[in-house]
Amino acid sequence: MDRHAKIAGIRPPDRRLGEIAEKVLNGARLTTEDGLHLLRTPGIAFPGLLANFMREKLHGKATTFSVNRHINFSNICRNRCSFCAFRRNEGEPGSERLSSRQIVDKALEAGRTGPAEIHITGALDPLFSLCDALAVIRELKAAMPLSTVKAFTLVEIDHFSKMSGKPPEEVMALLKEAGVSAFPGGGAELFGEDIREKLCPEKISGERWLELAGMAHESGIPTNATMLYGVGETDEDRIDHLVRLRDLQDRTGGFMAFIPLLFQKGNTCFSGIRAAGPCEQLRVYSVSRLILDNIPHIKVHWVMSGLKIAELCQWFGADDVEGTVHEERIGHEGGADTPMGLTKDDVRSLIERSGRLPLERDGLYNPVRTR
Ligand code: SF4
């Protein structure tokens, strides 16, 4: 452990952390028990140091971001996930289903500043079909051929498959042909059966989500992966989620980024729950970086984490920051008190204030040449 002490000037607080540090320094894989120990360590400095070691080994001082535009095509959903403040019934006040013209107009609105990435998600809307989805993507690509379209979560893919009667592989192939470059990481929530039953009993199982992610990767469509946390899950639930993602990534290599999503409890039946504090957030980022040794990027979604944590966690494992966004609705329906969007200069400054080097990327993590 002396080697680590020399690097960081900090000795591990206990023997077990010393053993974990040796593994990290030697590029060895951490176990479930290691992950649990890291999550249960009282201090955050040492796990953070290890996560930063891995983050800098992979990405140096750079933090990437994209100029992106979030568009939610509908909030009308046939599911009733208990943690969701976004969904509405058809005709309920606040319910909204955008037409393809409205979706393209929103993308073009942001297009004046040259968005590299259009991010489209919504809900399981019984009146938004696979045909509608394909029409939107085709129209969007015709209007903005240089954009990267990251559209429809794997939960939405499953919904399109059921509605159309086409197997998911075919749905994915059609969307790819229309112009989808990647699938977002939403809908993963937490894979553990017990917690998933409490959060979203009607949603596809964790196993099914992973199966669909594997299909996407096999079809040459990369995806992201998320984890909802701070919603009453156990440490075991968190590590189980991370290890299942790592196992799939070993087989497919198709995950680009992992995004921890801090639960926003406003307007949900969880309003009495204790919110995850800053230390807990930083611990989740650190442990995610350390367990997910095969997923290249750990992304901080500043809308959910808050801007202060988005700065801090670039020293606790995160190497990628959510982009300009323009109009975020899902987290804000749950009470997020962050802005609806940021300018490109705001995002660059958020990264620079952290002491990192901002690098603009497109939706597939290719560098974008700018000024
Ligand atoms: S989380 Fe998604 S699937 Fe669940 S109710 Fe909300 S919009 Fe519907």
303-342 per-position pLDDT tens digit: 999 999 999 999 999 999 999 988 877 778 888 888 888 9
Instruction: Show the domain range for 212.
Output: 57-360
Q: Ligand 1 centre and the CA of 174: distance in Å?
A: 24
Does residue 109 fall inside a structural domain? yes
CA distances from 42 to 38, 329, 341 (A): 9, 35, 34
**Which DSSP string corresponds to 122-188?**
----TT--HHHHHHHHHHHHHH-TTSEEEE--HHHHHHHHHHHT--HHHHHHHHHHHTEEEB--TT-
CA of 107 to the centre of ligand 1 (A): 23
Take atom 2 of ligand 1 and give the residue whose Cα is closest: 123
Q: How far apart are CA 49 and CA 4, in angstroms?
A: 10
* Per-residue model confidence as pLDDT tens digits over 167-188: 999 999 999 999 999 999 999 9
- Which residues lie below 8 Å from residue 188, measured CB to CB, with a gap of 6+? 154, 206, 209, 225, 226, 227, 228, 241, 245
- Does residue 233 lie within any of the structural domains? yes
Same domain? For 162 and 33 the reply is: no
Ligand 1 in contact with 86 (CB < 6 A)?
Answer: yes
- CA of 124 from ligand 1 middle (Å) equals 7
Q: Average pLDDT, stretch 283-296?
A: 98
Domain co-membership, 354 together with 281: yes
Domain contains 367 = no
Beta-bridge mates of residue 321:
300
204 and 329 share one domain: yes
219-240 pLDDT, tens digit per residue, is: 999 999 999 999 999 999 999 9
How many domains does one find in the chain? Answer: 2
Q: Give the per-residue pLDDT at 36.
A: 98
User: 170 with 290, same domain?
Assistant: yes
In a domain, residue 138? The reply is yes
Assess whether 214 and 355 both reside in one domain. Answer: yes
CB 87 near ligand 1, within 6 Å: yes
Q: CA geometry: angle at 206 spanning 279 and 253, to 5°? A: 80
Q: What is the pLDDT of residue 339?
A: 81
Question: If DSSP codes are grouped into helix, strand and coil, which group holds residue 325?
Answer: coil
Residue 185: inside a domain: yes
pLDDT for res 5: 45
Does residue 368 lie in a domain region?
no
The answer as to whether 67 is a domain residue is yes
For residue 260, give the amino acid letter.
P
Do 63 and 40 fall into the same domain? no
- 198 & 240 share domain: yes
List the CATH number of the domain containing 282: 3.20.20.70
123 C-alpha to ligand 1 centroid (Å)? 6
Do residues 80 and 116 both lie within one domain? yes
Ligand 1 binding pocket mutation candidate from 72, 77, 160 (most atoms within 8 A of CB): 77
Taking the whole predicted model, whether its pTM rises above 0.85 is answered as yes
Distance, CA of 242 to chain centre: 13
- The answer to whether residues 28 and 126 belong to one domain is no
User: Any idea what DSSP says for residue 1?
Assistant: -
Report whether pLDDT(194) > 90: yes
- If asked whether residues 352 and 274 sit together in one domain, one would say yes
- Residues 235, 97: Cα–Cα separation, whole Å: 37
Task: Tell me the best of 84, 90, 92 to mutate to test the pocket of ligand 1, counting ligand atoms within 8 Å of each CB and taking the most.
Answer: 84
Same domain flag for 278 and 327: yes
From ligand 1's centre to the CA of 203, what distance in Å?
8
Distance (Å) from CA 87 to ligand 1 centroid = 6
Flag whether pLDDT at 4 surpasses 60.
Answer: no
Pocket test for ligand 1, best of 78, 92, 155, 189 (most atoms within 8 A of CB): 155
Atom of ligand 1 at shortest range from CA of 86? 6
Residue 321 near ligand 1, beta carbon < 6 Å = no
How far is residue 215's CA from residue 212's CA, in Å, rounded to a whole number?
5
Would residue 186 count as lying in a domain?
yes
pLDDT in tens, 81-122: 999 999 999 999 999 999 999 999 999 887 655 557 999 999
CA angle 203, 228, 279 (to 5 degrees): 165
Q: Which atom of ligand 1 is nearest to the CA of 78?
A: 8
Enumerate the H helices of the chain as residue ranges: 2-8, 15-26, 32-40, 45-59, 100-111, 130-143, 154-164, 168-178, 193-199, 206-218, 235-252, 278-291, 302-305, 307-312, 330-333, 344-353
Pairing label, strands 148-151, 180-182: parallel
Same domain, 156 and 35: no
